[in-house]
Structure 1
C-alpha cells in the first residue's frame, strides 16, 4: 500500500466519523425534542420518562466519545497536510507544473504524437522532450 492510498483511507475514515457525528447529532436532537414532548404529557409514566432521559444521556455520551475521536484524527490529518504542503513547496517549480499540465492535456494521445508536443524548457532556454513512459 502506498503512502498516498494510506492517507486517502485515513481521510475517508475522518469523513466517515464526521458523517456518524452528523447522524448522532440529528438523532440526539430528535430524542431531546421527543423527551420534551414526553415530559409535557401527563399520561406517560415517570418510569418511561426516566428511561427516555437515560437514552438521551447515553447518546450524549456516545457523541462526546465520537467528538473526542474526531478531534484526535483531525489533528493528525492536519499535521500530515501541513507536512505535505511543506514538501510540495520545496519540490514544485515551474517545469514541474508545466509538465503536469502537459501530461494531463496529452493523456489520451498516442505516445509518438505526444513527443511532438510535449516540451519542457530548461532555465537556459534549451528545449528538451520528456518521455511519458
Structure 2
C-alpha cells in the first residue's frame, strides 16, 4: 500500500476547501436563487407567477430550498383568483415540486416581535 506524503495531503485538503468555498460564494448563491426562482415559477402553474419572498435554503442534510410563489389560478372556474404555492427545490436532482399554499398567512414581523416581549 502506498502512503501519501504530508505535502500531498495538504494540497488535496486545500483543493477541497477551495472548491467548497467557491460553491458557497455570493455569486454561486445568486445563481442558485435564480435557478430556484425559475424552476418554482414554472412548476407553480400559476399565471403571472413571481417569487413572494426570498428562497430559504435548508442545510445539506435536507438538500432542499423552499420558495413561496404567488400568481393567479389559470383555470376558468377559478376566475383568475390570486393564489400561492409553496415550492421545494431539490438541489441534488435540480427539480421543483409545489403544493397549494393559500392557507399560509403572513403576519407583519413587527407585530410578531411585539407579541414576544
Q: TM-score, normalised by structure 2?
A: 0.31
Larger-gyration structure (1/2): 1
Q: TM-score, normalised by structure 1?
A: 0.28
- The structure in which a higher percent of residues are helix is 1
- The structure in which a higher percent of residues are strand is 2
